Structure 1
Amino acid sequence: MAKSIHVFMLLVLHVLISALALANKVSSLSHADECSMLLQFKENMSINNHSKVASWKSDGARRHCCLWDGVECSLGHVIGLDLSSSFLSGPISSNNSLFNLIHLHTLNLADNNFCYSKIPSGIGRLSQLAYLNLSYSAFSEEIPKQISQLRNLVSLDLTGNYGLKLKLQSSDFQNLVQNSSETLRELFLSWVDIDSELPDSLVNSSLLTSLVISNCGLRGEFPTSIFNMPTLQLLDVQGNSDLTGYIPEIHCNSELKHLIIAGTHFQGSISASIGNLTHLNILDISSCAFTGTLPASISNLTQLRELHLSYNGMIGQIPSFFSNLTQLTLLDLSHNEFTGSLPSSIGNQTQLRELHLGNNGMIGTIPSSFSNLTQLTLLDLSHNEFTGSLPSLERFENLTDLILSNNNFDRWKLPDWFGKLKKMTYLDLGYVNLYGEIPSSFFNLTQVKSLHLSGNQLKGELPSSLLNLQNLEEFYLDGNNATTDFHLFLSLKKLKYLDLHGNNVTLSVKDSHTNETQPQFTALWMESCNLKVFPEFLRFQQELEYLFLINNKIEGLIPGWMWNISKETLSILSLSQNLLIGFEQHSPVASWVSLETLDLSHNMLTGEIPPSICDLLYLSLLDLSFNNITGSIPPCLEKISNSLVVLNLRSNTLQGTIPNVFTNESKLEMIDLSENNLEGQLPRSLENCESLQFLDLGHNFIEDIFPFWLGTLSKLQVLILRFNKFHGIIRIPSDINVNFPLLRIIDLSYNSFSGDLPHQYFQVWSAMKETEANPTYMSMPRMWKDYWFSIQLTNKGVNMEYQKIIKTFYAVDLSSNMFRGKIPESIKTLTGLQLLNLSNNELSGVIPPSMGNLIRLESLDLSSNKLSRVIPQELVQLNFLEFLNVSNNNLIGPIPQGRQFNTFSNDSYMGNKALCGNPLSMKCGDAKVSEPSKVSFEEDTFPDGVDWVVILIGFVSGLIVALVCGDHVTRRYYKWFLQRFRK
């Protein structure tokens, strides 16, 4: 027996000796070589004194480098390097000595700066790597495929290279998961551009505990079996908007602690089996497409600390079962469709730090149990319909953010306890029915940075205790009726955003603040503040981006110093609705190198458009409308044709032709040159404006044929050519595709068009055949406030100004031209129309019964034509018809009865001597009705005799009505009338 043991020991010794010999043969590197390589790595990098490698020095000892900071050794070899946060800087190449350390098991280079270089392909030589962390280290470009060949990976972290375009090829992603499926436990690839579907082999990674692949551009169907992987504890795929899926039935043995799928396209209802995730600490399914009600099984998630459900389509009441989730520190149910009242059980969440309930449809009062939530640091109840009074929050001493805006609280005054919330940094009390004066104690909130009091009924003078708010950066008081001396705000050194719109502001003449002592504003709203002069403090403002002095009483000249403020930063300048007449000196507006919006509309500016405007190379909105500007449109506008989006020169006295300045790079969406004295033909370069949605050239003297070539503009929705000298027949050229695909509103009234109605266009105006609801308005989005497109139309017999144009409005006005012939049957296809005006033409024939198909029609004017026969009974089907005028035609027979026709007055039918029935006094069946009509409308027939007396009486009475009731319209068109008929 002893002999056997001896033999066995000899064999074991032989094996060990052989193994050591083999190991020495395999490894050509000695320990000294590895230390030398570390020193070479140090020499190739830029470091500072705080770096871990700064202390690496050669001391001649054989085992010295194992004692270096960040270095780990085993069996005489370097197996681990932790150089995270080591202030390493500079690119790293594939031939770097670091990649010759073939025994490395762990490599951590996180939180360094490798200057946007590529991850070296030499990483593939470290075949023993199990832990690789290159996160937050400024690597970029394509990840080498050699990473996917590391078959022993346990943990890989490449996160944190946001915005650096670190990209992993789809095939390499597949290989990475496939090759390491038997070892991989942690995979962190957030912000790596993958643009791939998730590989099926991922499900086979039986040891996987953490899968974090957020914001990677993943697409396709998410493998639902991942939810039931037995070892998975962390799943984060948020921010992959093209990733679809749903929450499947989840097994009871799930180990998931963090489930984060926010910002994906997961949808459907939330499965009741979600209650099986009893280990969950964080559940974030916000910004998905989930609908339905919350399952009661959520009450099983007793370990839950954070629940994020915002930006979904969840409905129903806030369930009372939340009372079971006593560990919650964050609850976010905002931006859903929750209704009903807030359950009193919400008071059980005594650990809550953040409660987000904003942007729902909740009603009722806030329960008294709310006072238990004293640990709250953030409370958002905004944009609901809460009523009653706000319970005291005096005990909420940790509160930093309080957002109550847009609710229906009972009318209330600011209580003194607000001044005791000493940690408050963000307070939003906008539109909550506050009234009265602001108490001095309110301004004890010395830490507040953002204060919103907009849209209330606050009044009185702001107290001097406002000066306590020395940390204030944003103050919104707009929509109130307070009084303040602007001098107070000049003592708040950190103030950047100030909105005093609608309040009574005085400008202290005793102001002694200079550029060094006053705050440098970023945005300033002083709209409707009763200002009479330009605020002197503006002289010292050099960081303004947005300046609004709209609707004040500032008169006279714009001072010369205005052109010197905020030269590098000013982006929006709006001085509209004042009494300005010009510039104190020649306006060098080009000094504002960043200006994007210039709005000087609704003033009394005279003179010509300054050519320096053309030097504003970033200008996207130019509005000089409603002034007394003369001269011509400057041809130099060609220089900014590729930046302008809105050009509004409406209601001036501009003359000459429209310059041919619109380039192929034009971004123009809106052009309004109406109510001027422009003449000549339309410039063909307008067809270069491929983004054009709105074109209004009405009330000018433009003389041209119908611009059929505008039909190639695929985005054009509104075309107004009214009150000009357009003429000729309207037809579609056979060799050009000009179908105006999105046209919704066209007004060609008061021109000299002739021939038949444009029945070919009726057939191809496809947008007018739609009935889809899109209750938004035509506008140009801009910072803080949209710029609305506006037009003037004759609707329901009245000249109407549309300050906003809703995208569901469809109108055709071809009135006051010389169209002849019949109303074509093709008009019935324009089923989206709400306004149709064909009056004051020479149309003959019958009213087509098929016009009863225009079921959305609200206004129909066919007056002053030569239409004959009966009014078709089919028009009774027009349930939305509010205005009908068929007067002064040759119509006969009974007027249709019922529905909307019971609401029309005599004026709708006057001048048709053979019509009968309500509301006319002529009853059907009278002898006069049966007589043949002798009414004749000849083109050049004029009345004589006593008819002139009747006409003169009507003219005089109409003039009196116009003078009394039509001042708004008369004042606007008096200038146009004189100019037009003076020629």
Structure 2
Amino acid sequence: MASLADNDFNRSKIPSEISNLFRLSYLDLMCSNFFGQIPWEILELSKLETLDTSLNHKMELQKPGLRSLVEKLTHLKVLILDEVNISSPVPRILANFSSLTVLSLMGCELHGEFPAKIFRLPNLHIIDVEGNENLSGYLPEFEKSSPLQALILEGTRFFGEIPHSMGNLRSLVGLCIRKCAFSGSIPSSLGNLSSLDRLALGSNRFTGPIPFEIRNLAQLSFLDLGSNQLQGPFPSAFYDFKNLQWLDVGSNNLSGKVDLDMLLHKLKSLQVLILSSNNLSLLTKTNVHTKFSKLYILRLGSCNLIEFPDFLQNQDQLSDLDLSSNKIVAPIPRWFFSFNTINLGFVNLSNNLLTGFDQGPISLSRTGIVSLDLRSNKLQGSLPIPSLHTMVYLVSYNNFTGEIPLSICNLNSLQVLDLSHNNLSGKLPQCLATFSHLSTLNLQSNKFHGSIPQNLLNGTNLRMIDLSQNQLQRRIPRSLVNCTKLEFLNLGNNQIRDTFPSWLETLPKLKVLILQSNRLRGAIKEPETNYSFPKLRIIDLSHNKFIGYLPSKFFQFWNAMKVVNASPLAYLGTEMLFKSSGNIVHVSMNYGYSFQMRVKGIELDYGKISNFLTAISFSGNKFEGEIPTSITNLRGLRFLNLSNNNLKGPIPAAMGNLTALESLDVSNNKLSGQIPQQLEDLTFLAFFNVSNNHLTGRIPQGKQFDTFENISFDGNPGLCGKQIARKCEDFQPPKKEEGPAGLKFPSEFGWKIILIGFASGLVTGVALEHAYSARKKAHKKRM
């Protein structure tokens, strides 16, 4: 027997000499700071019955692998390899280990399908494969003789329904299958599990009512049914769970009234209560002096509250409080930020009708608040001064006025700052450059003026910057080139005077670049590297003063726009994980990015930005020349707007390759030739506008083209087709003006240039030129 658990071996490897301990039956190396590959010599310990190498630093079991291990160590009764990198399927041979009592493979990067027969091993008491997100499987039928006490599958891809025979597991103390893909109803047979202490079924796809048999689980201390699709009334049985410490039924479709006072009065041990996002109505009229159990977490979002519950005044242990998305119409009471100043770390009061702060502006500098969310209210006055511990400060969509207080410069831990959609003014404080941990900066839609400080954005952790819709001037800070983690940059709708910031092309993660509606000018220079904007998916340069040709060489390197749906659906944003006070729970937060863009002919707000969204908007500039064929390689492109420029030449036929395209706008240019028939193959194309060009010939027929309105083709007298009620067989395109000897030429060139080109008419041409100049001078004098 050898136990080296809870030591510090300073990331050394397990010595190969361990094979000399060939009589060893018990080996415990848990949490001893070992490192690297488990040596093959361990396979020679053929008498091992217990092996625990869990919770060490980046240990691996790959050469040899798990299969080799279990093939050699056939006497194993306890196998614990938590957080060892195995990266393999679970070998089916484990189903033959009839003596196995504990199998724990938590966070081992297992994949494939878990052998269902392992669940039915006759002596298995504990099975834990939590945190293997690529491991799938299903639950088999269970016998009454099963000795299972703990079944933990959280964070895997197990699917299917819970079998009714689960009720046979009379010894089961813990059932944790959260964050899986289970579906169907919760079987009433779970009411047979009278020894159950922990029941965690949250974040699955369970439907139907909570079975009212759940009242038989009198020993429960932990119950998580949250984030499913459960419906029906809030069970009265919950009032009788006197041992309950954790109750989460949030994010379901439960209905009815909940007497919050009675619930808290009866559940003396309750520490966590989550009722958010149901169809519940809470009753709370408790006298402020009534004593309840001390809660650590209270989440009552979307619970139809109309006022702040008075019982909160005695909850001085709260670390996490969510009252968001209710109907609270009142100022925030003075006691709210004073009753638990030390422990309260996470506060969410967003999406209410809060009007201000009782007794005037407040200072939160002495509180322990880590995350404060006051978004989407009617708060007025100056910004509340946040706590020095603040990491997340969200106050968007309010009516705050004045300047950003200089006290904000003291927030050395700040990671997310969102002051957008208020009436704030003044200049941006220079001290924002000192926020070394800042990842998200959103000051959109205020009245900030002056220049963007050139040293403002030196932070290497910045991932999102939105300064749009202000009155900022001068140049784009060159220090942005140091923000190597930057994914999203929006400086649109300001008064910035500069050229195109081609020096941003080296940013390896930039996905969204929005510079619309500024005073940017000049030509876009060719890229200096072959890796220009490699992750760019959205670019909006519309309504500026750019000139010259479209950046054809840039299009060659925008690789992220060349791929169609290469990855699972996800949304751009900042994800953070916090540990709340007392280590009782991890609090996660996802701050999604958003922007506005004109697509499909209308201005759209994108409250979420999916990784499938790709868009180019260069409209409202003075670009000239032809549409480069290099743009047709961007096969993942969904929105393309080149309208209101001076582009000429044909629409490239190769645009038929853009099979993901949903919107194409090239209106108000000088394009000529026919609309390519290849565009008929763009089956996702929902918006198409080529109006006010010089296009001719037949409009493509069928498929998407039959859905476009005639205004999509206006201002092209040379077009014909049923979309504009002009038959091609009877239609003669308008003749161009003819000069002498029947020569045709576009009317906009006039007589001047054409006649000068005739050798025989040189004298006439010169005379006309003089006459033209004379008329021009006379016109200027009249002006």
Equivalent residues in 2 for 1:138-149 (5 A)? none
Q: Identify the residue that residue 427 of structure 2 maps to in structure 1.
A: 632
> Does the 8 Å CA contact 2:253/2:278 hold for their aligned counterparts?
yes
Question: Distance in 2 between the 1:774 and 1:367 partners?
Answer: 32
Farther off after superposition, 724-733 or 286-295: 286-295
Does structure 1 residue 530 correspond to structure 2 residue 373?
A: no
Offset of residue 751 of structure 1: 0.9
Structure 2 residues not aligned, in runs of 5+: 579-587, 738-743, 751-783
The question of whether the paired residues in 2 share the 8 Å contact of 1:381 and 1:405 is answered with yes
Alignment correspondent of 1:907:
711
How many Å separate the matches in 2 of 1:645 and 1:448?
36
3-state SS in 1 of match to 2:723: coil
Which of 826, 834, 837 matches 2:630? 826
Q: Residue 363 of structure 1 corresponds to which residue in structure 2?
A: 183
1:297–1:646 Cα change, 3 Å = closer
Closer, same or farther in 2 for the Cα pair 1:902/1:814, shift >3 Å? same
Question: Alignment partner of 2:215: what SS?
Answer: coil
CA change 1:903–1:380 in 2 (3 A) is same
Query: Structure 1 residue 174 and structure 2 residue 15: aligned?
Result: yes
State the shift of 1:283 in Å. 1.8
Alignment match, 1:215: 55
Pairing 1:446–2:280 present: no
SS in 2 for 1:363: strand
Equivalent AA in structure 1 for residue 320 of structure 2 = Y
Query: Is the contact between residue 894 and residue 917 of structure 1 (CA under 8 Å) also seen in structure 2?
Result: yes
Aligned to 2:545: 752
Q: How does 1:25-424 map to 2 (within 5 A)?
A: 155-161=1-7, 166-167=9-10, 169-170=12-13, 173-174=14-15, 176-177=17-18, 180-181=20-21, 184-206=24-46, 208-217=48-57, 219=59, 221-222=61-62, 245-246=66-67, 250=71, 254-291=74-111, 293-295=113-115, 297-298=117-118, 301-312=121-132, 313-315=134-136, 317-320=138-141, 322-323=142-143, 325-389=145-209, 390-415=211-236, 417-424=237-244
Check whether the contact 2:120–2:146 (CA below 8 A) recurs between aligned residues. no
* Secondary structure class of the residue paired with 2:199: strand
Q: 1:550 aligns with which of 350, 353, 375?
A: 350
Q: Retained in 2: the 8 A contact 1:460–1:483?
A: no
Give the superposed CA RMSD.
3.1
630-639 or 723-732: which moved more? 630-639
Flag the 1:595–1:219 CA change in 2: closer, same or farther, 3 A. Answer: closer
Q: Report 1:459-858 matches (<5 A).
A: 459=281, 461-462=283-284, 464=286, 467=290, 469-482=292-305, 486-492=309-315, 494-504=317-327, 529-543=328-342, 544-555=344-355, 562-563=362-363, 565=364, 567=366, 569-583=368-382, 589=385, 592-640=387-435, 642-662=436-456, 664-732=458-526, 739-771=532-564, 772-782=566-576, 783=578, 784-858=588-662
* Matched residue type, 1:538: F
Contact 1:245 1:265 in 2 (8 A): no
Separation in 1, partners of 2:331, 2:287: 27
User: What whole-Å deviation, never above 9, does each CA across 1:622-670 have from its counterpart, x for those lacking one?
Assistant: 3222223333223333333x23322222222222222211465543222
Q: After superposition, what is the alpha-carbon deviation per residue over 1:683-722, rounded to whole angstroms, capped at 9, x for unaligned?
A: 3222222222222111122122211111122222211111
Higher deviation after alignment, 855-864 or 615-624? 615-624
- Residue identity in the other structure for 1:577: S
Give deviations 1:838-889, integer Å, cap 9, x for gaps: 0000111000001111111111100001111110011112121111111111
Is the alpha carbon distance of 1:939 and 1:729 closer, same or farther for their aligned partners in structure 2, counting shifts above 3 Å? farther
Q: Which amino acid aligns with 1:831?
A: R
For the residues of structure 2 that align with 1:935 and 1:434, how far apart are their CA atoms?
A: 74
The letter for the 1-side match of 2:644 is N
Change (3 A) 1:366 1:939: farther
The structure number with the bigger radius of gyration is 1
Structure 1 counterpart SS, 2:447 = coil
Rate the CA distance shift 1:726–1:569 in 2: closer, same or farther, 3 A: same
Partner letter of residue 575 of structure 2? P
Q: Which residue of 1 aligns with 2:756?
A: none
Once the 2 structures are TM-superposed, how far is the Cα of residue 453 of structure 1 from its aligned partner? 1.5
User: What residue in structure 2 maps to residue 455 of structure 1?
Assistant: 277
Give CA-to-partner distance per residue, 1:541-583, whole Å, 9 cap, x none: 42232333334444467966621x4526232333333344433
AA partner of residue 520 (structure 2): F
1:330 partner letter: A
Q: Give % identity.
A: 36
CA distance in 2, matches of 1:907, 1:694: 35
Indicate the residue corresponding to 1:136 in structure 2.
none
* Cα distance between partner residues in 2 of 1:327 and 1:853: 61
Please state if 1:917 is matched with 2:712: no
AA paired with 1:357? I
Separation in 2, partners of 1:930, 1:713: 51
Mapping 1:878-889, distance limit 5 Å: 878-889=682-693
CA distance in 1, matches of 2:332, 2:291: 29
- Residues 260 and 655 from structure 1, CA distance in 2 versus in 1: closer, same or farther, beyond 3 angstroms? same
Match of 1:437 in 2: 257
* 1:894 corresponds to which of 683, 686, 698: 698
Q: Distance in 2 between matches of 1:277 and 1:473?
A: 43
Give CA deviations for 1:775-810 in whole Å, capped at 9, x if unaligned.
Answer: 222212245432222111111010111122122211
Superposed displacement of residue 894, structure 1: 1.0
Deviations 1:726-753 (A, max 9, x none): 111112265x677122211111111111
Indicate if the aligned counterparts of 2:487 and 2:511 stay in contact, CA closer than 8 A: yes
> Which residue identity lines up with residue 836 of structure 1 in the other structure?
L
Inter-partner Cα distance in structure 1 for 2:40 and 2:63: 7
Structure 1 counterpart of 2:4, which letter?
L
Deviation at 1:176, TM superposition (A): 3.8
In the aligned structure 1, how far is the partner of 2:418 from the partner of 2:252? 35
Are the structure 2 counterparts of residues 830 and 937 from structure 1 closer, same or farther at C-alpha, using a change threshold of 3 Å? farther
CA contact (8 A) 1:821 1:845 kept: yes
Cα distance in 1 for residues equivalent to 2:295 and 2:154: 27
Q: Name whichever of 548-557 and 810-819 sits farther off.
A: 548-557
Aligned counterparts of 1:669 and 1:558: Cα–Cα separation in 2: 36
Which of 1 and 2 has higher RCO (CA within 8 Å, sep 6+)? 2
Q: Secondary structure at the match of 2:455?
A: coil
Count, aligned residues: 727
Take 1:765 and 1:569, find their aligned partners in 2: how far apart are those partners? 45
The structural deviation recorded for 1:221 is 4.6
Deviation at 1:333, TM superposition (A): 3.4
Alignment of 1:917-956 (within 5 A): 917-929=721-733
Distance verdict in 2 for CA 1:686–1:186, change over 3 Å: same
Give the 3-state SS of the residue equivalent to 1:655 in structure 2: strand
Structure 2 counterpart of 1:943: none
Q: In 2 relative to 1, CA 247–421 (structure 1 residues): closer, same or farther, beyond 3 Å?
A: farther
